[in-house]
Amino acid sequence: MSRPAPVPSRLVRAAGSLVWRFTDPERTAIPGESLKASEIQVLIVHRPRYRDWSWPKGKAEANEPIVAAAVREVEEETGVVAVLHAPLTTQRYRLGSGQTKEVHYWVGTVAPGEAISPVTRSRIPVRPAPSSEIDQTRWASPAKADQLLTRRGDRRLLSELVARAQDGRLVTTTMVMARHAKAISRHSWHESEATRPLTRVGARQAIDLVDLLSAFGIEECVSSPWTRCVQTLSPWAGLSGGELSVRGELTETAVEGDPSAAGNMTAALLRKIEVPTALCVHRPTIPVLLKPLKAIAPSSLARSFPNHSPWLATAEILVAHISRADTEPHLLSLERHATRTKLLFGV
C-alpha cells in the first residue's frame, strides 16, 4: 500500500560551522587567551551555482540531529573533519518557496589530525560534495573573508567570532552530561539495581549517541559503573577507541549517601578539563551534578538549566562550553541535544 507524500515543512533546518585555525600552525590554543584577528584564519567555500562565498553549511537530513548535520556538511563541502564548540547566532531568512530557513552555526576547529583519534574514528564516512555544488574552499584571514563573504548575515557571524577571539572567549573546552539510555524499568527488574541493563530502544539510543559525542569532539568519557551507564557509552568507546573510565561517586546509591563527593568530582573536572569529556549519569543524580556548573554560570544562563524532573530525557545530553578567565572556569553557553532515536520515537 502506498503512503501519501509528507506535507513539506514550513521550516527548513540547516547547520554549519565557522571553522578557524591559527595562522601559525605551531601555535597551541589556550582557553581564555585573547586573540587578534590577524592571528587566525577561517574556512569559507565558494558555490558556483550562486556565485557566492559562504560558510560551509547544509540541510539536515530527516531526523538527523542538528549537530551531526553541521559536522557532516563541513566535511562534505571542505574535506575538513570539524569539532563543534560554542554555538553562534542562529540565522533565519525566507526562501523563495515561502519556507523559512533556519541555520544553526557553531564555532569549529579542525579535529585532531591522527587517523586513529577518537573523533575521526567515530565519524561516519561522507561523500564529498560535487564541484557543481562547491568548487573552491579557502582558508582566509578575517579581513579577507569579510571582503569575500556575500551575505550580510555571514559577515555578522564573522564579526561575532572575531569579537569572541578578542575577548578571550573563542577557545573553549567542552563537558557533556548524558543521562543513560532507556533501561528496563525498575519494577520489571528483580536483580541488583546496579546490573539493570538497557532495553532494545536504549541500545539503539546508545549507538545514536556516538554521533552527538563525536560532533563535540569527545575524547574521554567518565561513567557510573552501573550497567546501564556503561552500556550507554560502550558503542562510543568501541568505535572511537577513546578512554572510558568509571567512578563510583556517580552511582545513585553513592550520590544519595554522599552528594558532596559527586559534586566535588564534577567541580574538579571543570577546573582541570583539558580535552572534551562526557559524563554518563543517572536521572536522580543530575541535580547534584548540575550544582558545580551553576556555580560558574552567569545569571543570563540560569534559564538554560533543566529545572524539573526528569531533568534530561534518556540519552539526551547537556553540553557545557567552558571558557577561562584568570585560570578560573566560566560557563559560556549551554545546549541540549537528543539522539536520532528520540526524534523518531519520542522516547
pLDDT, greater one: 288 or 30: 288
The yes-or-no verdict on residue 285 having pLDDT over 50 is yes
Distance, in Å, from the CA atom of 163 to the CA atom of 332, rounded to the nearest integer, reads 14
Print burial letters for 52-90: b (CB count within 10 Å at least 16), e (below 16). ebbbbbbebeeebbbbbbbbbbbbbbbebbbbbbbbbee
Express as a percent the part of the chain with pLDDT over 70. 96
Position 96 scores a pLDDT of 79
Q: 5: pLDDT confidence band, cut at 50, 70 and 90?
A: very low
Packing angle between helix 259-272 and helix 286-295, nearest 10 degrees?
40
Distance, in Å, from the CA atom of 282 to the CA atom of 183, rounded to the nearest integer, reads 11
Q: pTM for the whole thing?
A: 0.94
Q: Quick: pLDDT tens for 9-51.
A: 689 999 999 999 999 999 999 888 999 999 999 999 999 999 9
| Residue 85: C-alpha distances to residues 46, 92, 234, 274 (Å) | 24, 21, 24, 14
pLDDT mean over 128-139: 98
Q: Quick: pLDDT tens for 213-244.
A: 999 999 999 999 999 999 999 999 999 999 99
pLDDT, greater one: 184 or 345: 184
pLDDT, greater one: 136 or 342: 136
Position 204 scores a pLDDT of 97
Q: Are 315 and 206 in contact (CB under 8 A)?
A: yes
Position 4 scores a pLDDT of 44
Q: Within 13 Å and on the Cβ side, how many CA atoms surround 231?
A: 22
At which residue does the C-alpha cell 538554560 appear?
Answer: 304
Domains within the chain, CATH numbers bracketed = 11-167 (3.90.79.10), 173-345 (3.40.50.1240)
The yes-or-no verdict on residue 6 having pLDDT over 70 is no
Average pLDDT, the chain: 94
Q: 7: pLDDT confidence band, cut at 50, 70 and 90?
A: very low
Q: Quick: pLDDT tens for 58-115.
A: 999 999 999 999 999 999 999 999 999 999 999 998 887 889 999 999 999 999 877 7
Q: Quick: pLDDT tens for 96-106.
A: 788 999 999 99
Residues 6+ away with beta carbon under 8 Å from 344: 63
